[in-house]
Structure 1
Amino acid sequence: MLRNQLSLSLDLALLALPAVLAEARNLKVRVSVSIVDASGQLIHLAHMDGAPAPSRDIALDKAWTATGFGVATSAWEERLAGMPASVRDGLLQRPRLAMFGGGVPVKVEGAVVGAIGVSGATAEQDEQCAQAGVDAILAALNQA
């Protein structure tokens, strides 16, 4: 499904979505899910009934940030703490950067091929849901 591509496909996004939603239901939370390709472009968005309206945009920002930097958005808390205030403040004022948990990159052989962003619950729960989707994608690729 991805062998000759360097980016997630719609088929893989549609495979990840049920895993994300199942984890959200397991946690009893309502979330929005954004799945982006290697360039951070939206492939698929889902918004659970009852999820906060702003979570749509936040989920996309988390996925975009995870793809752009190639690290989970939860890693930014520690990274920001070690930066000079001027750099930290500059980053935090950038539009679209989401530097709290819920965005997880999808990496294949070390290359970022996309990401999943989740928003609507706590940062930890959002990340747990996103990771479930990433795990579903990687499991499918390992079986191919």
Structure 2
Amino acid sequence: MSRKLIYLAILYFMLTLPVNAAELPTKYFLPTSTAESIAKAAIAECNKINVPISVSVVNDQGRLVYFYRGESTGSNTVHTSYRKAYTSATLKVPTSQLTLAVESTGYSQLGKMEDDILLLTGGLPLLYDGSVVGAIGLSGAPNPIIEEDCGKKALSQLLPQ
């Protein structure tokens, strides 16, 4: 019986010894509730100026987390808002910075690199602690600068930098 106890004690100590594992970096993610809050804040900002919009919020990989289609918005706003968000998340910049890129040397094919890349103003990356955790895309306003402004105001309320 004492031999069995010795084996159990050795096994217990082996299992409780610290293991030198590789340290993995912390990765933030975008919860659905936060994505919904961001979208609703952007909608509220555009509603203040009577501009209906559709809003897509995606994670850092460009996968849809939350979507809202505004009253009386065109059917094109569904996919357009998603593509703006996708572009901003995957390229990690506001889409307004990309609109001139197609005219720059070496970037003329940027808009053709993938079907969901859309080089129109209205997509903004969502940053948390210096990391892109997702993006918002807005569509439906008569001018995409209005969309971007609504998105910026919403982000400044919910994700202060």
Q: TM-score, normalised by structure 2?
A: 0.76
Give 1:131's aligned amino acid. K
Give me the whole-angstrom Cα distance separating, in 1, the residues matched to 2:129 and 2:65.
Answer: 21
2:158 corresponds to: 137
- Residue 33 of structure 2 aligns to a residue in which SS? helix
Superposed structure 1 runs of 4+ greater than 4 Å apart: none
Q: Whose radius of gyration is greater, 1 or 2?
A: 2
Residue 56 (str. 1) matches residue 78 (str. 2): yes
| Unpaired runs of at least 5, structure 2 | 1-25
Query: Contact 2:102/2:111 (CA < 8 Å) preserved in 1?
Result: no
- Residue 77 of structure 1 aligns to a residue in which SS? coil
Q: Which has the higher contact order (CA 8 A, sep 6+)?
A: 1
2:126 corresponds to: 106
CA RMSD of aligned residues (A): 1.7
Q: TM-score, normalised by structure 1?
A: 0.84
1:9 corresponds to: 31
Q: What is the number of residues matched between the two proteins?
A: 134
Which one has the bigger helix percentage? 1
- Residue 85 of structure 2 aligns to a residue in which SS? helix
Give 1:138's aligned amino acid. L
Given the alignment, which residue of 104, 118, 141 partners 1:82?
104
CA drift at 1:5: 5.1
Identity %: 26
